[in-house]
Every structure is written in C-alpha cells, then in structure tokens.
Amino acid sequence: MFKNKFVSLSELIKEYCLNEIQNKNTKRWLDQKLRSIKSAQDFFISFALINKKIPRDHLQLSLAQIKTVHLTHAEFNIENWTLDQLCRLSLLMYYPLLTVQNITKLISVADNLEQITIFKSIPYLKNADQYAHIVVNGLRTNIVDVFDAIALKNSYPAKHFSQDQWNQMVLKAIFMERPIYQIKDIDERKNEKLAHILFNYALERWAASRRVTPELWRMIRGYLTEAQFFEMKKQMVEPIKSHQKAMLKLIQESNLNVAQQWLNMQSIQLENISWDQIGSDFLNKNQVLKNLSKT
C-alpha cells in the first residue's frame, strides 16, 4: 500500500478507503461511485449514504502509513480523519462536476457531522480558492465542532482569507475560548489591526470584571504600545495568577524600554514557557472544569 511516492492525494485516499472497508459489497459500491457519479442527484445521495454504509471508526494507522502520507503530502494530517470522513472526502475529490453551487447546497442540507467533513475537505479540492465565501459563512455557526473544523488544524483560512476575514475568525475563536494555538499559521498572520481589536476586547472584559483568555496576548506580540502596557500593568497584582503569566510573557518579549524597566524592578520569576504550551494548558484546564461541572 502507498508504494508509489508520486501518487496523488486523491488516489492515496481512495486506496486507503477501499483497503479499510471490510464489507465487500460496501467496498464495491464505493469503488463504483468513485469511478462514475453520473449526476448531481447521484452525488448527493451517495454522500448521504456514507453515514449508513461506512463506520465512523478512528483510523488504525501504522507508523509506516503515517510516515508515507506525511512524506508525500505533508499538508494532509491523516490522523485527524475517521474512515467515514475520508470516504466523503474521496467522493468530493472524484466528483467531476463539483461546483460552488453544489457545495453550498450540500452544506445547506448536511447535518453537523457532514458539515464538519465538508469544511475539513475543502482545502484539498480542486479550485479551493473559489470556496472562500462559503467557508467564511460557515464561521457564523454557533456549533463549536463545526467552527473548529474551519478554524483549527485547517490550512484554508491562512491561505485564502482576507485580513478582515482572518481577524474576525480569530476574534470569534478568542471569544469562544477555542485553542488558537491550533490555528494554522497563527503567528504568521497576526497583524496590527487585529492586535488593536483584541486589546480593546480585553479592556471591555476587564471593565466587566471578567477574565481574558491567556492566548489573546499571543496576538499582540510585536504591537504592544506604552499606553497598552500601562493598562496591562494595572491588572498585574501579587501573587501572579496563571492567566497573568501570558501577559508577563508579552511584556517580556516587547521592545518597550518602560516595560523592561518595570520588569527589572519586579520580584517576579518568569517561566520559560512557549505560547503553544500556554494554549495547551488553558485548554486542558477548561476541559477539567467542564468535566467537574458534569459530575
């Protein structure tokens, strides 16, 4: 399996799907559909039937399989896909008449799990840039898993969103307290306009005596002003709490003389921690709190 290192991503996914499906009739059905979907109606029906025919199993990949996929198609994280999702992606890739209209209609009738698969699939479709407005509209959802399918571990926004579209996505991710360290190219696409928007958001949260997700400060790196530093300093009280450590890291990484002078005068032990680790720790802490609230 996967012996040809020049195999296309669509061929690789098709081969994997057909190898993993245990039922011979189902395997034959999918193979036939991938070879010839004759109409839009046939495509929509086949896409919907995946739910009944293909199990929602997590992939049991060998290290050799994972390595092969990463070497041939580094942008595709096959570990993030279940078998039914891969089969739906394969249908999307092999349907020759796929259009913006088809994708729009498909999303309008899709359930949450189907929408997740569609938004995960769009980066790997031909003419992916044509679907930008569809993906942006998808961010309006209030369903966390659908939002995450677009915003997290997805290369599409970084490649195809305008600055305003990108900023709106990050702002909503911050508001929803989603793990922005999982947003592709999060540091490469940070910008002064976004930093200004997020600092004003932080001021609003402080005025309402509410916390600010520590990942917000990652987006302000390189853009911190003296006025903003003085506002942040007001929030720094002893002892330093966990959510304030990210603020300290931002101050430490700034080029502001007044900020560095203030740091030198404090008896604060700064931790050597990455921004990704700050995000991961915050995500894990939130998950623990959610689990406790259910008990």
What tokens were used for 63?
């290290």
End position of a domain, from candidates 68, 97, 126: 97
Mean pLDDT value of segment 105-119: 96
Half-sphere exposure of 40 (CA within 13 A, CB side): 10
Which of 16-25, 122-131, 192-201, 231-240 has the lowest average pLDDT? Answer: 231-240
Residue 17 lies in domain? 1-97
Domain for residue 51, yes or no?
yes
User: CB–CB of 149/120 below 8 Å?
Assistant: yes
Domain for residue 166, yes or no?
no
**Does pLDDT of 238 surpass 80?**
no
Domain for residue 197, yes or no?
no
End position of a domain, from candidates 62, 97, 132: 97
Domain for residue 50, yes or no?
yes
Domain for residue 23, yes or no?
yes
Domain for residue 60, yes or no?
yes
Domain for residue 273, yes or no?
yes
**CB 226: neighbour CB atoms within 10 A?**
12
Gyration radius from the chain CA atoms: 23
The runs of H, that is alpha helices, within 22-95 are 24-35, 40-53, 63-72, 83-94
Mean pLDDT value of segment 117-134: 96
Instruction: State the pLDDT confidence band at 239, using cuts at 50, 70 and 90.
Output: low
Per-residue model confidence as pLDDT tens digits over 24-53: 999 999 999 999 988 999 999 999 999 999
Instruction: State the pLDDT confidence band at 1, using cuts at 50, 70 and 90.
Output: very low
User: For position 253, what pLDDT does the model report?
Assistant: 94
**Does pLDDT of 114 surpass 90?**
yes
User: For position 267, what pLDDT does the model report?
Assistant: 74
Domain for residue 241, yes or no?
yes
Work out the percent of the chain whose per-residue pLDDT is above 90: 75
The set of residues, in sequence order, having a beta carbon less than 8 Å from that of 105 and lying 6+ positions away, is 44
d(CA 273, CA 252): 12
Domain count, the chain: 2
Mean pLDDT value of segment 256-265: 92
User: For position 181, what pLDDT does the model report?
Assistant: 98
Which is nearest to 149 in space by CA: 125, 104, 118, 186?
118
Which of 188-197, 204-213, 220-229, 240-249 has the lowest average pLDDT? Answer: 240-249
User: For position 72, what pLDDT does the model report?
Assistant: 85
Per-residue model confidence as pLDDT tens digits over 76-104: 999 889 999 999 999 999 999 999 999 99
End position of a domain, from candidates 48, 81, 97: 97
**Does pLDDT of 148 surpass 90?**
yes
